[in-house]
Chains A and B, each alone.
Chain A
Amino acid sequence: AQSVTQLGSHVSVSEGALVLLRCNYSSSVPPYLFWYVQYPNQGLQLLLKYTSAATLVKGINGFEAEFKKSETSFHLTKPSAHMSDAAEYFCAVSKGSGNTGKLIFGQGTTLQVKP
């Protein structure tokens, strides 16, 4: 069985500070891992994805994530937060090729950016 745990339902940072959103996964097969962002009253937008290639994945809007198999983690980072980064972020896992649409999502982390 697969699962995703996002540590911290709310994270608050100051504008310009480092953003770190934590995600740990559990999977019996090599996983595909994703980070999505959801702005208020909107659908989900893909930030980045890991599909068994490079372990350091760069995404849109300056975000990146590193796949660490030994730690079963896929934490999302951004060096300098912008006000526009305030949103809800979801980590998700799938069983890999052929099952990409069947995602298991974490509970989400709301990112607040303070001026």
Chain B
Amino acid sequence: SQTIHQWPATLVQPVGSPLSLECTVEGTSNPNLYWYRQAAGRGLQLLFYSVGIGQISSEVPQNLSASRPQDRQFILSSKKLLLSDSGFYLCAWVPDSFGNTIYFGEGSWLTVV
């Protein structure tokens, strides 16, 4: 079966510290992968998406970056966190370029203090 794993589930980081959130998908190949962020009391916003290894598109300018070192691995990073980076981060995937449903991971709660 196809599943998505995301970790860590919760983390508290000081301002200025680095960040690494990891997402992996199982049971599929060449998926489209996405990172979304949900800030407190707000809807979800697409941050990055990837259609293949090494291919990253950024939707909004920000303090974060993304990488796709392997087909089924998607990483969200920051060199120095800001308070405004706090939020709920969701990894998601679509089976292929013509799939019509996106599936979300369980999410990672990030609190920057």
Interface residues of A (CB under 8 A from B): 32, 34, 36, 41-46, 49, 51, 90, 92, 97-98, 100-103, 105-108
- In angstroms, Cα B32 to Cα A101, docked, is 8
- Give chain A's interface secondary structure class: loop
Q: Does B44 contact A (CB under 8 A)?
A: yes
- In angstroms, Cα B104 to Cα A51, docked, is 19
- CB of B3, distance to nearest CB on chain A (Å): 12
Given contacts A101-B94, A105-B45, 17 further A-B contacts (CB under 8 A): A34-B102, A41-B109, A43-B105, A43-B106, A46-B101, A46-B103, A51-B100, A92-B44, A98-B97, A100-B94, A101-B32, A101-B34, A102-B34, A102-B49, A105-B43, A108-B42, A108-B43
Q: Does B92 contact A (CB under 8 A)?
A: yes
Q: Does B21 contact A (CB under 8 A)?
A: no
B-side interface residues, number (CB < 8 Å): 26
Interface residues of B (CB under 8 A from A): 6, 32, 34, 42-46, 49, 59, 90, 92-94, 97-107, 109
Partner of A101, one of B43, B45, B92: B92
Are the CB atoms of A43 and B90 closer together than 8 Å?
yes
Chain A residue numbers with a CB within 8 Å of B34 are 101-102
User: Nearest 4 A-B pairs (CB), nearest first?
Assistant: A105-B43, A101-B94, A44-B104, A43-B104
